[in-house]
């Protein structure tokens, strides 16, 4: 059976990766711009180089959620691949065993037919041997009777 055609998603991996990098860059830029602006209650010298903790927490949260989504997607793909491979493997094993069973059944049938023919041949040979033995027994009996008569006649002559 020819393999089925798989249509590719128009969004490539490169495009997805580019979109992720763009988002991270935008988030980083927004963090840097918001964190570098001085607050009203802070002195100007203290705010230079300081980072907004809320922005960092949001960035970490978004990054973790994105990683969790990627992980979930990867796990899902692996599970789907595993399930497909498992079902294919089961089908292949079942087919292999049924092929083997059919070959064994054919061989066994041939062997049984040959065995039946050999049993019939053996029965015929046994019957033939039995008839030979019966005739031979009758001939020995007859010969024994003839010898007995000869011995009796010679015994009479010797007397």
The answer to whether the beta carbons of residues 55 and 34 sit under 8 Å apart is: yes
Task: Please tell me the predicted confidence (pLDDT) of residue 36.
Answer: 47
- Give the confidence band of 45 by pLDDT, cuts at 50, 70, 90: very low
- 3-class secondary structure, 5: coil
Of 21 and 79, the structure prediction assigns the larger pLDDT to 79
**Low-confidence winner among 5-9, 55-59, 100-104, 114-118 (lowest mean pLDDT):** 5-9
DSSP state, residue 142:
H
Q: Name the pTM for this structure.
A: 0.39
- Domain ranges (residues) in the chain: 52-158
Assess whether pLDDT exceeds 90 at residue 159: no
Residues in CB range of 56: below 8 A, 6 or more apart = 31
Helix, strand, coil share (%) of the chain residues, nearest 5 = 85, 0, 15
Position 1 pLDDT exceeds 60: no
Q: Under 8 Å CB-to-CB from 93, ≥6 apart: which residues?
A: none
Residue 118 is encoded by which pair of tokens?
């050999």
Rounded mean pLDDT, 131-152: 95
Rounded mean pLDDT of 38-57?
Answer: 63
Contact 36, 47 (CB under 8 A): yes
Query: How far is Cα of residue 118 from the mean position of the Cα atoms in its chain?
Result: 40
Q: How far apart are CA 76 and CA 89, in angstroms?
A: 20
Distances (CA, A) of 1 to 4, 47, 96, 99: 9, 69, 16, 18
Q: State mean pLDDT over 75-98.
A: 94
Question: Distance of CA 91 to CAs 102, 142, 154, Å?
Answer: 16, 75, 92
């Amino acid at each position: 059976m020819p393999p089925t055609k798989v249509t590719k998603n128009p969004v490539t991996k490169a495009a997805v990766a580019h979109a992720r990098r763009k988002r991270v860059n935008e988030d980083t830029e927004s963090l840097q711009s918001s964190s570098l602006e001085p607050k009203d209650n802070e002195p100007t010298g203290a705010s230079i180089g300081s980072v907004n903790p809320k922005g960092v927490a949001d960035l970490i949260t978004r990054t973790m959620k994105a990683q969790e989504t990627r992980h979930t997607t990867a796990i899902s793909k692996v599970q789907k691949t595993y399930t497909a491979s498992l079902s294919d493997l089961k089908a292949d094993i079942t087919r292999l065993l049924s092929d083997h069973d059919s070959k064994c059944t054919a061989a066994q049938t041939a062997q049984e037919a040959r065995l039946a023919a050999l049993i019939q041949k053996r029965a015929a040979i046994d019957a033939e041997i039995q008839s030979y033995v019966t005739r031979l027994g009758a001939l020995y009996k007859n010969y024994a009777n003839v010898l007995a008569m000869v011995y009796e006649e010679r015994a009479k002559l010797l007397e």
